[in-house]
Amino acid sequence: MPDVDEIKEAKKFYSDIPQKTEGFFLKGSNSLDWGIKNRLARIFNPESGRTVMLAIDHGYFQGPTTGLERIDINILPLVPYADTLMLTRGILRSIVPPTTTKSIVLRVSGGTSILKELSNEDIAVDIEESIRLNVCAMAVQVFIGGEHERESIKNMTTMVDMGMRYGIPTLAVTAVGKDMNRDARYFRLAARICAELGAHYIKTYYIEKGFETVTSSCPIPVVMAGGKKIPELDALTMAYNAVQQGASGVDMGRNIFQSESPIAMIQAVRAVVHDNETPEKAFDFYNTIKNQL
């Protein structure tokens, strides 16, 4: 308690200066509550409005993926260059030091492996775990057009409802079945359904034709998934095109951790995402860092 005898009379009211009311920097997110905005502002850089998420959650359905065999050795050195880590609670607890100040996006859906029908997922993590682990968002796979479309949408809306209770955003990850067309029409459909049903941001793949219609018809931020490993310059070009066509960043895995030089690649991706660097210049940057190591 302050000493009541010594209270000084308040006098600096600046009555001539109106209090600022700032809008929130992220698309479609202004009406969210303070806690959700604060968590989103730890995922998306408020200056660039974008994020470099490092996705290392692949083991949740495909086991020790190439590049992720030893997360302690191969991935921890990349953490300083990521804005956010997207991973499972198992890897978070067993390998990531709790001293990290990076934001965490926790994979909360799961339940099937590559040996079975992948769309048959359930919610695999309690909301209490997300609170306990101090995560900034929860990621749920949504299989629009998939065998278990309805259940996967329900998983997402359940997490949205629970997350809203505690101020934790939900990332809807649009998953494409093997037999489905990866085109603008599909991703517009998938992204819009997830946004309409309450997701706070969406992850989709990049497509050459019409990606800008996916971002413009989605009222909330879209981040680009990396997909299978392609040459570094091609991956940088894809990330560049995605952000120039309205993506609010990337959530890349294999194109970073399966690169010949993951530590150079993640820095080159940052240059494209946060500094609007061209793919060619970012590729030069990649080679310079790679050759210095």
Task: Check binding of 252 to ligand R5P (CB under 6 A).
Answer: yes
The answer to whether residues 199 and 174 touch, using CB atoms and an 8 Å cutoff, is no
Angstrom distances, CA of residue 86 to CA of 108, 121, 136, 251: 11, 18, 10, 8
Q: How far is CA 110 from the centre of its chain?
A: 17
Helices (H), the chain: 34-43, 59-62, 71-74, 89-95, 127-132, 149-166, 184-196, 211-216, 232-244, 254-257, 262-275, 279-292
Task: Check binding of 232 to ligand R5P (CB under 6 A).
Answer: no
The answer to whether residues 221 and 26 touch, using CB atoms and an 8 Å cutoff, is yes
Extract the tokens encoding 252.
């890349």
Identity of the residue, 110 or 163, whose beta carbon is nearer to ligand R5P in the bound complex: 110
- Mask for 168-187, x = binds ligand R5P (CB under 6 A): -----x--------------
Among 67, 169, 221, 226, the residue binding ligand R5P under the rule CB under 6 A is 226
Identity of the residue, 32 or 105, whose beta carbon is nearer to ligand R5P in the bound complex: 105
Extract the tokens encoding 24.
């929130």
Helices (H), 167-253: 184-196, 211-216, 232-244
Closest-CB residue for ligand R5P? 226
Q: How far is the CB of 21 from ligand R5P (least distance, A)?
A: 37
Q: How far is the CB of 225 from ligand R5P (least distance, A)?
A: 5
User: Catalytic: 203?
Assistant: yes
Identity of the residue, 89 or 254, whose beta carbon is nearer to ligand R5P in the bound complex: 254
Task: Check binding of 272 to ligand R5P (CB under 6 A).
Answer: no
Binding site for ligand R5P (CB under 6 A): 55, 57-58, 86, 141, 173, 225-227, 251-255
Residues acting as catalytic residues: 203
